[in-house]
Structure 1
Amino acid sequence: MSWEKPQCKMEGILGICGKDSDIREEEFEYFMGARYQGEVSEGMETLLIPPSGWAVFPNVIDTWKRIYSEWLPTSGYQLGNLPCIENFLAPGHQPENELWVPVITGYMEVKG
């Protein structure tokens, strides 16, 4: 979302789910964010997310239900160590929202 080198296609309101993709607890940090040009106000936090590979899925709710049980075990991807991002797009945009899941490509599980 950086203004310095805007290469990100996220243009909505973001929900950042924790600080990495491995959420196992019932409670976790959830950050809300949007593109912003200005100083960070007191009480606000900046979370830097480096460039990475992402699997992008339409419809946040349906994706959460199936991502870990169906897609990930058969995809050939491994979760990256970054947070998942819920991208809620502007009204009238299709899809209305997306789930961005950090992935490492070329992962292959070795069974022994």
Structure 2
Amino acid sequence: MDEIRRKRVEETLKAEVSALLMRGDIKDPRVDTFLSITRVEVARDGSHAKLYVSTFKESGALAEGVAGLNNAAGFIQSGISKRLRIRLTPRLVFVADTGIKEGFELGEKIKGLFP
């Protein structure tokens, strides 16, 4: 898969999974609408994709949400395969993205250094 096509698939996956989350189509109680997809990385061969998930809730909710999304990955993948026009729909793996929280904490530490 060339770079341009891979980036297009990444953006489409991000938009489609985000729409599923916002609509509440995933019935797992661990998955709520406060989860958001921050970025997507599709493998060069297109066989799998890592979707990074963050939330504004506490970190326990993030771990539960990621577990719920990984549990529902087959359902999400089948829904996406109906909308995408690609030969092989990537296998979805959801990963917790704590970068936003870590960035906020670092900013607070920096503010604490300068009174």
Q: Which range, TM-score by smaller chain?
A: under 0.3
Higher relative contact order (CA 8 A, sep 6+): 1
With normalisation by structure 1, the TM-score equals 0.27
With normalisation by structure 2, the TM-score equals 0.26
Higher helix share: 2
Higher strand share: 1
